[in-house]
A = this chain, B = another copy of it.
Amino acid sequence: MSSSCIILFFLLLTIISVQTAIVKTQENTWKTKYFEQRVDHNDYRVNSLGSFKQRYLINGNSYKGGNFPIFFYTGNEGDITLFAKNTGLIWEFAAHFNALIIFAEHRYYGESLPFGSHSFANNSMLAFFTAEQALQDYVTLIEYLKATVASTNSPVVAFGGSYGGMLSAWLRMKYPGTVVGAYAASAPIWQFTSLTPCETFNSIVTRTYRGTNSNCPLNIRNSWKAIRGIFERGQPAKLKSLFHLCDDIKDKDELNALIAAINNVWVSMAMADYPYPANFLGNLPAWPVNYTCNILSKSPANEDALLMLISEAVQVFTNYSKDVKCFNIANGGDPPALSTNGWDYQSCTQMVMPMCSDGKNDMFEVQNWDFDAMTQYCIKEFRAVPREFWAVQTFGGKEAVAKAASNIYFTNGHLDPWSGGGVLTQLSPSLHAFVISDGAHHVDLRASNPHDTTAIKQARSIAKSLITKWVS
């Protein structure tokens, strides 16, 4: 699997979580503030690189002052307002705990650019774009908030989903003096070499589709050869028409891009398999995988029949609203607030997450994990060299986390492919885990919804009791 594929995959974490922004969080408000943050926390020089403005969002409506807690969202790979809009739960919990709400933007995303518009200009400008620096940003901001708007005795609970959940867990591991506990939702802290096999992710996508009916993943698996066959037989126009593409498929690279885009459609719907309609890049129905697999439950008589079904199924993601003119596989549909480039750089340095598919245990084409090829890509793209074992070396392997960390609550959705790199079982008396049997990607962090399942509610209820213990 090429590195760009991996990047696309991970970005979907965020893309999907934006879907019901407008609907769910009309009532959740905040003030936008900026904190002077050191560009380099390791820089003690008088003539240092100075500071930049880190954006954070604050809501003190529920905060009762004194020693009541701070709920601190550790921002991930995008504009922080996106995460605020999609973490409605924190407002509900803040009301219950009389807590101050903070959403801190991750450096190099949104408005928090260490060198403004030059932040991505070259690898020296990017040199301060590490998870360690981001964690130090959070620690520094928390100290400031405790000393000013809150109290030095206010316990701080970290919240985060996806990469934000990883940061929450890591913040607790590395700075237990700063946060009393972490609610890490769908945080694949083990989606790294030596911790999780590369095929896990795609086999879970397949499992989620197979969970509806066995024909569904079979049809998808059979579709790749059929799609390539059309191109190889010299019928690119047929592909364009079949998938309502905006542009012609002119060469093998563009064919591969189409394959990757369809691949991402299936992954995205597994991640966004929420029990209620969601809205992003057009609408998605409730339980989109079920909806899609209903279409793909048939056994088509021939290749053309198969491709007609696949075409219809892809449109559940690309054009459920029926008002999208064509499917633009070039932009992948990223909302402008998400910095594809940012996550791409992180994947090319620290966030090396191996993924592959074997076409047997999963419904995808065979794709090997090729770290060397990825390294070449990263050198070419960013003049940066990825470190395969950064995560294990920095945070320890599974046993180390189990033995030495504490006060972290890991939730994962069984339907979510990222759950394969997550913590699924209780590791110790203070490291809790809950798998939402019918949940997708950090659905539990979203605002309560009448369609929430029992398991989603249970995940939140456990969170509430753990936080009660942590902050008392």
Contact = CB atoms under 8 A, between A and B. Distances in A.
Given A177-B395, A393-B143, A46 B400 contact: no
Contact of A127 (B42, B350, B386, B395): B42
Interface in A393-419: 393, 395-397, 399-401, 403-407
A46 B406 contact: no
A244 interface: no
Interface in A7-62: 42-48
B174 A174 contact: yes
Contacts of A2: none
Contact of A177 (B132, B350, B396): B396
B45 A176 contact: no
Nearest to A405: B176
A403 B469 CA distance: 14
Contacts of A349: 44
B124 A45 contact: yes
Contacts of A127: 42-45
A123 B404 contact: no
- Size category of the binding interface on chain A: 35 or more
B44 A393 contact: no
Interface in A169-188: 174-178
A47 B139 CA distance: 30
A403 B404 CA distance: 11
A139 to B, nearest CB: 6
A384 B45 contact: yes
Contacts of A47: 123, 383
A339 interface: no
A132 B42 contact: yes
A340 interface: no
Given A349-B44, A384-B44, A139 B393 contact: yes
Contacts of A174: 174
A132 B175 CA distance: 14
A351 to B, nearest CB: 12
A46 B177 contact: no
A311 interface: no
A176 B403 contact: yes
A383 B45 contact: yes
Contacts of A45: 123-124, 127, 383-385
Copies of this subunit: 2
A46 B385 contact: yes
A400 B177 contact: yes
A210 interface: no
A130 interface: yes
A379 interface: yes
A392 interface: yes
A140 interface: yes
Interface centre among A127, A176, A396 (most CB of B within 10 A): A176
A175 B173 CA distance: 9
Contacts of A379: 46
Given A178-B396, A395-B177, A400-B176, A387 B123 contact: no
A404 B124 contact: no
Contacts of A132: 42
Interface in A360-407: 379, 383-387, 389, 392-393, 395-397, 399-401, 403-407
Contacts of A406: 403-404
Contact of A396 (B133, B175, B400, B403): B175
Nearest to A43: B127
A384 B383 CA distance: 30
A387 B140 CA distance: 12
A334 to B, nearest CB: 24
Interface in A98-153: 123-124, 127-128, 130, 132-133, 139-140, 143
A69 to B, nearest CB: 16
B400 A130 contact: no
Given A45-B124, A45-B383, A178-B393, 16 more contacts: A42-B127, A42-B128, A42-B133, A43-B127, A44-B127, A44-B348, A46-B383, A46-B384, A46-B385, A47-B383, A176-B396, A177-B392, A177-B399, A177-B400, A178-B400, A404-B407
Nearest 10 Cβ contacts at the A-B interface? A177-B396, A177-B400, A176-B404, A44-B349, A45-B123, A46-B383, A44-B384, A176-B400, A46-B379, A177-B397
7 contacts: A42-B130, A42-B133, A46-B379, A48-B385, A177-B400, A178-B400, A403-B406
